Amino acid sequence: MIKDLPDNEVKDIAVAVALEGESIEAKTWYVYLINLKKEPIENVLITSKGYGEKDGEQVKTSVLRHMFPVVEGSAFKVIEPIDEATFGLNNEYWVSYYIGTQIFDKKFIFLPESIVDSNFIKLPLVNKPGVMIM
């Protein structure tokens, strides 16, 4: 039963969308997993999808899955590139990982229009401008 599962709280793990570069034609964006813990996390599984309403119609993107055997402590990994066209949707990243034999998981959701300049910070470890959810 779900009540029998341990309540493992996810701490010091973040998902961020960072601006990688700009040209006259377009901006380049990437999504990062940031491990702010001192210890590594293992068997990291991330599913990503976008969903919401665009031009009055319901829209869903494909579900993508990403796997990292280890993300070292105080380190980050690139999850995937992200298209600016999806910024008007909910962009969901469900992250699951192990520390030892304990499993942790959490959904990180970038709400529509939350990836904007006014929400930018300097992302820790990545050292680029972007939006981060912890």
Kindly report the pTM of this predicted structure.
0.91
Confidence label for 96 from pLDDT (cuts 50, 70 and 90): very high
pLDDT of residue 67: 98
8 Å CB contact between 10 and 54: no
pLDDT of residue 23: 80
* Spans of all domains in the chain: 2-133
- CATH fold of 2-133: Immunoglobulin-like (2.60.40)
Outline where DSSP puts E strands in 23-114.
27-35, 41-54, 57-60, 64-71, 75-82, 90-99, 102-110
In this model, does residue 2 exceed pLDDT 80? no
The percentage of residues in the chain with a pLDDT greater than 70, rounded to a whole number, is: 96
Confidence label for 5 from pLDDT (cuts 50, 70 and 90): low
Alpha-carbon gap, residue 65 to 84, rounded angstroms: 20
Write the pLDDT tens digit of every residue in 100-131. 999 999 999 999 989 999 999 999 999 999 99
68-95: average pLDDT? 96
For residue 124, give every residue at least 6 positions away whose Cβ sits within 8 Å of its Cβ, in sequence order, or none.
Answer: 14, 34, 36, 132
Strand 41-54, strand 64-71: pairing: antiparallel
Q: Which helix (H) or strand (E) holds 129?
A: strand 129-133
